[in-house]
A = this chain, B = another copy of it.
Amino acid sequence: MQIIELEPIGILHCNLHNRKDTPKSTSESTAQGIIEINPQYLAGLDGINAGSSILVLFWFDRAPRDVLRVHPRGDKDRPMRGVFATHSPMRPNPIAVSKLRVLRRADNCLTVQGLDAMDNTPVLDIKSSR
């Protein structure tokens, strides 16, 4: 099957350094951080400002890619399910979709709130959140 090559458009800086302390979803997170976009993509940010709601696609580079079934939310009391029926970070292509609020924008840096991703996570894409 074809191989697709991606280059991150930026990287996340925040104070979440391990899985245990990282919220499992944006809806239960108030964690803030800074998304630094590669300056070559600066024009792509036109229209994103403080108050914007955005979908950020992260590449969960530390997640195992060979897991197909998990206990949802890591809770062993819940029966195992296929990863495609969950939001587990573990999956063949570990791309996370996080809805975040932009608190500030300074050139190519977005201060965001609601993080469920760790420091140094690569960013693949940003979209407006409808």
Contact = CB atoms under 8 A, between A and B. Distances in A.
Interface of A: 1-9, 25, 37-38, 41, 43-48, 52, 54-55, 57, 59, 61, 68-69, 80-87, 91-93, 95, 97, 122, 124-128, 130
B7 A44 contact: no
A44 B122 contact: no
B82 A47 contact: yes
8 contacts: A2-B122, A3-B5, A41-B92, A44-B68, A47-B86, A92-B125, A93-B124, A97-B127
Contact of A44 (B47, B48, B82, B97): B82
A43 B81 CA distance: 8
Contacts of A95: 57, 95, 124-125
